[in-house]
A and B are shown apart, each in its own frame.
Chain A
Amino acid sequence: MLLEVRDLHVEFHTRDGVAKAVNGVNYSVAEGETLAVLGESGSGKSVTAQAVMGILDMPPGKISGGEILFKDRDLLKMKKDERRKIRGQEMAMIFQDALSSLNPVLSVGEQLGEMFVVHRGMSHKDAKLKAVELMDRVRIPAAKERVGNFPHQFSGGMRQRIMIAMAMALEPSLIIADEPTTALDVTVQAQVMDLLAELQRELNMGLILITHDLGVVADVADKIAVMYAGRIVESAPVHEIYRAPAHPYTKGLLRSIPRLDQKGRELYAIKGLPPNLLHIPPGCAFNPRCPMAQEICRGEVPPLFEVAEHRESACYFWKETLDAR
């Protein structure tokens, strides 16, 4: 397995108390595989990714338990410098907002070339050639002329391509894309997503795709992990989850996708709000919003039940949920 996250716990120590952002997450990604991590804002999907990447702000963040195995080595036990060398070379990250994620005062050529200068000890001249090559590869027109341009001189889609090029630069084996298309126009979203999927296939990389866009997921992901209040509530191969969700939360998410054949009717929304991470409700964190909640849901945190092969759900009533579609 390329990456295995085991029982990861992350807390944030704030003035108001300890916010439990990630509470025992398990997931794994194999080479060439795409895992989509789904969830609302504050569900812990980005925090988990930042912990894997090693870019969590600590403090206030703190990894309070678990293991992150990357190529069978625990990242959390590594020395700082060892960990740094893995970043960029063996795993890379694509961020949501390319405009703010790229340095405004350095040319894109410098920012791309930097990867080769730092990790490969290349000269600035050679690194610039590499930068042009990368820009060509992500299909930025007139790459040679534009290598000296600054991020603000590119369109949103082109900027995100540069982000992708930067992540691909050293051909890492794992890419984490944190909502890579959220900030883009719908027309550009598909192009960027296609490019990402294509490069992933070419380089046989593992891809963790963090998103709340269910439409994006269906096309590219192999499997899905749905997160809620810092836990994975359901994980399954992508098509099965669309066919029959085994957790009321997933069901709610799927129902809230606007559909053309429901034009004129009120849009569905899951009632209530995501829980405050300072005070996660006891038992199943989803119980206050869940239409199926019973007494048992307010007592113990539900474990992950094996629904089928490679399918798990953290709901006491997963059978009923499956059947009730």
Chain B
Amino acid sequence: MGRYVIRRLLQMIPVFFGTTLLIFLMVNVMGDPIAGLCGDRQCDPATAAQLRSEFGLDKPVWQQYLTYMGNVFTGDFGTAFNGQKVTELMATAFPITIRLTIVAIVFEIVIGISLGVVTGLRRGRPVDTTVLILTLVVISIPTFVTGLLLQLLLGVEWGIIKPSVSSEAPFNELLVPGLVLASVSLAYVTRLTRTSIAENARADYVRTAVAKGLPRRRVVIRHLLRNSLIPVVTFIGTDVGALMGGAIVTERIFNIHGVGFQLYQGILRQNSQTVVGFVTILVLVFLAANLLVDLLYAVLDPRIRYA
């Protein structure tokens, strides 16, 4: 197990450099970062040239990358468009997005798995069909539509929630945005759990559990669910990374100043430091989440052993 973890951590190194380099190159072709600094006006050529040499933008791309990575390893992610340190932006943005992700994941686990179990055990019955159709609808509608619709109905028309989340973004204000963020994944979790439960419900060991005279609750939770959750855990684990980086749309709609919001601003202002910095961290989150899923596999299924 220990050796496996070390090997996986070592494998992360090339992945980390590969992804950051790709992002760096992509941001580089995005446009002139100096032009963004001057706002809507045309920059004074002399000032622009001075800024370029100050930020090292006149050097070749590979040199810029090396300098940047060197700085990253000393904890310096550069400066954002408004003169703030990117690390400072991260310090305010990440806690908010983490809270949002937690809300979304909790929704996925609680609602998704419960619905999956209920429908999986009643395959072909009205409940099952209804939930299946609902999940299909949720999957087919883009997040910005559900987001805007809920904001309009719950926030503006009925006044149940605040349409816009305050800058502190406490948990209670993140409930609806979290649900919106989770919606598509939630539908997938439901379907995945349903299929897995329905498949395992016919397994021999479930029949054994019934023959042992165990109460139905125990048969379902202890014997059936435990085995059925293995694929679901994989999905939710990888989804952690996707939710954290993919909250751009949801954060825009509800004005949440999290990672997605800062990324959006960074792209809009052509500030490569912000974009590359945030994405680098997201890459790390993704890698960590994947490793965690693989380790969790071994916990859930003792037949899987890592050497």
Stretch at the interface among A94-102, A231-239, A306-314: A94-102
Instruction: Among B209, B210, B300, point to the contact of A103 (Cβ < 8 A).
Output: B209
Q: In the complex, what residues of A have CB within 8 A of residue B222's CB? A: 106
- Are B302's CB and A150's CB within 8 A? yes
- In the complex, B91 has a CB within 8 A of chain A: no
- In the complex, A118 has a CB within 8 A of chain B: yes
A/B interface sample: 26 pairs, CB < 8 A? A53-B211, A57-B202, A84-B214, A84-B215, A88-B211, A88-B213, A89-B213, A93-B208, A97-B204, A100-B205, A102-B208, A103-B205, A103-B208, A104-B205, A105-B303, A106-B222, A106-B223, A106-B226, A114-B212, A115-B212, A118-B212, A118-B213, A118-B214, A118-B215, A119-B213, A150-B302
Q: In the complex, what residues of B have CB within 8 A of residue A101's CB? A: 204-205, 207-208
- In the complex, B162 has a CB within 8 A of chain A: no
Q: A55-B207, A100-B205 are in contact. Are A105 and B212 (CB under 8 A)?
A: no
- In the complex, A5 has a CB within 8 A of chain B: no
Residue of B nearest to A149 (CB): B302
Interface string of A112-124 (1 = CB under 8 A from B): 0011001100000
- In the complex, B227 has a CB within 8 A of chain A: yes
Residue of B nearest to A163 (CB): B208
- Are B207's CB and A88's CB within 8 A? no
- Are B301's CB and A104's CB within 8 A? yes
Q: How far is the CB of B151 from chain A (nearest CB, A)?
A: 43
Q: Mark out the residues of chain B between 184 and 209 whose CB falls within 8 Å of any chain A CB in the assembled complex.
A: 202-205, 207-209
Shortest Cβ-Cβ A-B pairs, 3 listed: A88-B213, A87-B213, A100-B204
Q: Mark out the residues of chain B between 126 and 141 whose CB falls within 8 Å of any chain A CB in the assembled complex.
A: none
Alpha-carbon gap, A57 to B215, bound state (A): 16
Main secondary structure of the interface of B (DSSP, over half): helix
- In the complex, B7 has a CB within 8 A of chain A: no
Q: In the complex, what residues of B have CB within 8 A of residue A53's CB? A: 211
Residue of A nearest to B209 (CB): A103
Instruction: Among A89, A105, A150, point to the contact of B227 (Cβ < 8 A).
Output: A105
- In the complex, A85 has a CB within 8 A of chain B: yes
- In the complex, A36 has a CB within 8 A of chain B: no
Q: A103-B223, A104-B301, A105-B302 are in contact. Are A118 and B208 (CB under 8 A)?
A: no
Residues of chain B having any CB pair with chain A under 8 Å: 202-205, 207-215, 218, 222-223, 226-227, 300-303
Q: In the complex, what residues of A have CB within 8 A of residue B211's CB? A: 53, 55, 87-88, 92-93, 95
Alpha-carbon gap, A89 to B301, bound state (A): 29
Q: In the complex, what residues of B have CB within 8 A of residue A57's CB? A: 202
Alpha-carbon gap, A93 to B212, bound state (A): 8
Q: How far is the CB of A96 from chain B (nearest CB, A)?
A: 9
Q: In the complex, what residues of A have CB within 8 A of residue B302's CB? A: 104-105, 107, 150, 152
Residue of B nearest to A104 (CB): B303
Residue of B nearest to A57 (CB): B202
Residue of B nearest to A166 (CB): B212
- In the complex, A86 has a CB within 8 A of chain B: yes
Q: How far is the CB of B213 from chain A (nearest CB, A)?
A: 3
Alpha-carbon gap, A53 to B208, bound state (A): 11
Instruction: Among A95, A104, A114, point to the contact of B214 (Cβ < 8 A).
Output: A114
